[in-house]
């Protein structure tokens, strides 16, 4: 059964969401954007029949669901209006600007009975899902320590930055802690456990006029006793992504798209098993070619990522699961993040920011 969906947002909404929704069997009927000409052009590129500048008009139409792929400051208003109208909602991360707003969205979702999903496509990568399964089985012994790094050369060059204006200010939800590490925080919760306390700081890029951060570093303690550190910067001159989980019996390391085990016998590969692969099945071949993307609107990493997003397969799996959950409420897949997960991530983000202000460890509720 083809469900009808509207996508709000002509940047990543077009280049990632529209292509993945179509591949997952959705009927993308409407594209919503602020610029009428650009919206019409991109709707035509992806064969979307309706190009509008009114979110309300999209919500009032016969759509079944809406995708909110806008800057974070607009997430609550749009999602709450859609849920009030009985529309299912897939929302970009971070869920909101504050814990209070995230709580309101989470509670509204529960009260309305609609299906919500959050843009955490990283959960659908086999190496992360397999690490989650191994941790759950106690494969590494007592969990002692973890380290999670995400450095990207996105705003390293001097001069005008190739990122949208909203990305520069904390008031609009910009910065690296919120816009990347909402993913990182979610992955730790998904794979290992809930946060108990954090202590850290973010680095504001004052030299470039940003009130939002260009990097973060914080120590954390999980409720299961594991301690760790999360670091990341968008001003790095080297791309560096690391995931390490140290246990009493073995260490798990994700390098690229591969999961490795280091123990007394040396290094070995942990392949995703048939059970994990079945949970992550996107409904299309993982080597399938996506619908044509868009030419980059700039020369930097941000423009390239948002013209041809590399998470197409994972996002297609997410969109397929979102659709299946709407059609079958008994369907339960741990890889499908919801507004509950978005609320939990916002609690960690606010705790890190509070830790910087107060100069102390902050416990999570």
For residue 358, give every residue at least 6 positions away whose Cβ sits within 8 Å of its Cβ, in sequence order, or none: none
- How high is the pLDDT of residue 181? 94
- How high is the pLDDT of residue 154? 81
Please report which confidence band the pLDDT of residue 287 belongs to, taking 50, 70 and 90 as the band edges. Answer: confident
Out of 65-79, 113-127, 201-215, 330-344, which region has the weakest mean confidence (pLDDT)? 201-215
Mean pLDDT of 181-199: 97
- How high is the pLDDT of residue 261? 98
Q: What angle do CA 286, 193, 180 make, to 5 degrees?
A: 55
- How high is the pLDDT of residue 151? 94
8 Å CB contact between 22 and 291:
yes
**Whether pLDDT at 145 is above 80:** yes
- How high is the pLDDT of residue 204? 82
Sign of CA dihedral 5, 43, 319, 92: negative
- For domain 4-122+282-337, the CATH architecture is 3-Layer(aba) Sandwich (3.40)
Distance, CA of 289 to CA of 310 (rounded, Å): 12
Residue bearing the bigger pLDDT, 300 or 73: 73
- How high is the pLDDT of residue 254? 97
Q: Do the first three CATH levels of 4-122+282-337 and 125-273+349-363 match, i.e. the same topology? A: no
CA torsion 248→181→19→14, rounded to 10°?
180
Please report which confidence band the pLDDT of residue 303 belongs to, taking 50, 70 and 90 as the band edges. Answer: low
- How high is the pLDDT of residue 219? 98
8 Å CB contact between 71 and 166:
yes
Mean pLDDT of 273-289: 88
8 Å CB contact between 176 and 234:
yes
**Whether pLDDT at 298 is above 60:** no
- How high is the pLDDT of residue 110? 96
Q: pTM for this structure?
A: 0.95
According to DSSP, the β-strands at 235-247 and 143-153 are antiparallel
Residue bearing the bigger pLDDT, 207 or 199: 199
Q: What is the pLDDT of residues 87-102, one digit of tens each?
A: 999 999 999 999 999 9
Please report which confidence band the pLDDT of residue 109 belongs to, taking 50, 70 and 90 as the band edges. Answer: very high
Distance, CA of 200 to CA of 216 (rounded, Å): 8
Phi (first) and psi of residue 270, to 5 degrees = -110, 110
Mean confidence (pLDDT) of the chain:
92
For residue 91, give every residue at least 6 positions away whose Cβ sits within 8 Å of its Cβ, in sequence order, or none: 67, 68, 75, 79, 105, 116, 117, 118, 119, 339, 342
Alpha carbon 240 to its chain centroid, in Å, reads 18
Q: What is the pLDDT of residues 159-188, one digit of tens each?
A: 667 777 888 888 888 899 998 899 999 999
Q: What is the pLDDT of residues 206-236, one digit of tens each?
A: 777 778 899 999 999 999 999 999 999 988 9
Mean pLDDT of 305-325: 84
- How high is the pLDDT of residue 292? 66
- How high is the pLDDT of residue 285? 77
99-112 and 75-84 helices, crossing angle to 10°: 10
- How high is the pLDDT of residue 277? 96
Q: What is the pLDDT of residues 237-251, one digit of tens each?
A: 998 999 999 999 999
- How high is the pLDDT of residue 291? 65
Distance, CA of 200 to CA of 203 (rounded, Å): 10
Residue bearing the bigger pLDDT, 6 or 212: 6
Mean pLDDT of 122-129: 97
- How high is the pLDDT of residue 322? 98
CATH of the domain spanning 125-273+349-363, picked from 2.120.10.70, 3.30.360.10, 3.20.20.60, 3.20.20.70? 3.30.360.10
- How high is the pLDDT of residue 308? 58
**Whether pLDDT at 305 is above 90:** no
Q: What is the pLDDT of residues 39-89, one digit of tens each?
A: 999 999 999 999 999 999 999 999 999 999 999 999 999 999 999 999 999
pLDDT over 90, % of the chain:
77
Domain ranges of the chain: 4-122+282-337, 125-273+349-363
Residue bearing the bigger pLDDT, 128 or 164: 128
């Amino acid at each position: 059964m083809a469900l009808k969906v509207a996508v709000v947002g002509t940047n990543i909404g077009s280049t990632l969401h529209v292509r993945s929704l179509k591949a997952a069997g959705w009927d993308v009927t409407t594209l919503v954007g602020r610029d009428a000409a650009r919206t019409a052009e991109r709707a035509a590129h992806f064969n979307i029949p309706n190009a509008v500048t009114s979110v309300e008009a999209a919500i009032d139409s016969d759509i079944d669901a809406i995708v909110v792929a806008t800057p974070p400051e607009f997430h609550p208003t749009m999602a709450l209006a859609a849920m009030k109208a009985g529309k299912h909602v897939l929302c970009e991360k971070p869920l909101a600007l504050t814990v209070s707003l995230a709580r309101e969205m989470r509670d509204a979702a529960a009260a309305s009975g609609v299906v919500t999903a959050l843009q955490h496509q990283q959960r659908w990568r086999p190496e992360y899902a397999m690490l989650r399964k191994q941790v759950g089985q106690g494969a590494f012994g007592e969990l002692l320590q973890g380290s999670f790094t995400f450095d990207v050369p996105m705003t390293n060059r001097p001069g005008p930055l190739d990122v949208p204006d909203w990305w520069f200010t904390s008031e609009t939800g910009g910065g690296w802690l919120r816009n990347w590490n909402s993913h990182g925080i979610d992955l730790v919760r998904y794979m290992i456990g809930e946060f108990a306390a954090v202590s850290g700081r973010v680095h504001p890029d004052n030299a470039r006029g940003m009130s939002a951060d260009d990097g973060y570093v914080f120590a954390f303690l999980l409720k299961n006793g594991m301690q760790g550190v999360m670091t990341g910067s968008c001003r790095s001159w080297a791309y560096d992504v690391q995931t390490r989980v140290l246990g009493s019996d073995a260490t798990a390391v994700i390098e690229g798209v591969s999961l490795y085990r280091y123990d007394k016998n040396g290094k070995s590969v942990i392949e995703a098993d048939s059970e994990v692969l079945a949970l992550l099945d996107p409904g299309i071949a993982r080597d399938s070619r996506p619908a044509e993307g868009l030419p980059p609107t700039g020369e930097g990493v941000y423009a390239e990522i948002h013209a041809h997003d590399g998470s197409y397969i994972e996002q297609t799996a997410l969109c397929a699961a979102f659709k299946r959950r709407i059609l079958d409420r008994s369907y339960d897949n741990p890889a499908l993040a919801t507004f509950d997960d978005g609320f939990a991530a916002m609690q960690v983000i606010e705790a890190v920011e509070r830790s910087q202000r107060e100069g102390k460890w902050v416990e999570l509720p």
